[in-house]
Structure 1
């Protein structure tokens, strides 16, 4: 996860530099900020995906086990 954060920081610096040189309304500036947004979206997506715990893994493999039953009251 720190690898993607480092990449975001690098892209932020690059986007700022491109926008300073080319101007805030340039297509290059917009493309640079798009790259930053894509990386931030990927980082958010990775944070949302949590690994399954041992019970969830067991229930995936053994859905009929007593421990895995779900009762609706």
Structure 2
């Protein structure tokens, strides 16, 4: 699942990069359209970076999600 999401966002980054280049070619490299198009690319790259940092849950975390009342899943607050 994570690979599919990761590939999807990489595909979107490539598409947005192509659109940004086209916008800059048409409107000029100092135009607001060019800047906005590259902002969209940067936002997607930031999201891709964030997704890579998300670590998958370990087996205990998965178990506790399914069985929050289990003794192993109790949380004690100080």
Instruction: Give the alignment's TM-score, normalised by structure 1.
Output: 0.77
CA distances 1:18-49 after superposition (whole Å, capped 9, x unpaired): 00110010000000000000000000000000
Give yes or no for the alignment of 1:27 onto 2:68: no
Question: For 1:48, which of 53, 58, 62 is the aligned residue?
Answer: 53
Count of aligned positions:
64
- Which consecutive residues of structure 2, in runs of 5 or more, have no partner in the other structure? 1-5
Q: CA deviation at 1:55?
A: 3.3
Structure number with greater Rg is 1
Give yes or no for the alignment of 1:10 onto 2:15: yes
Q: CA deviation at 1:59?
A: 6.8
After TM superposition, which residue ranges in structure 1, 4 or more long, deviate above 2 angstroms?
Answer: 55-64
- Which consecutive residues of structure 1, in runs of 5 or more, have no partner in the other structure? 65-73
Instruction: Give the alignment's TM-score, normalised by structure 2.
Output: 0.72
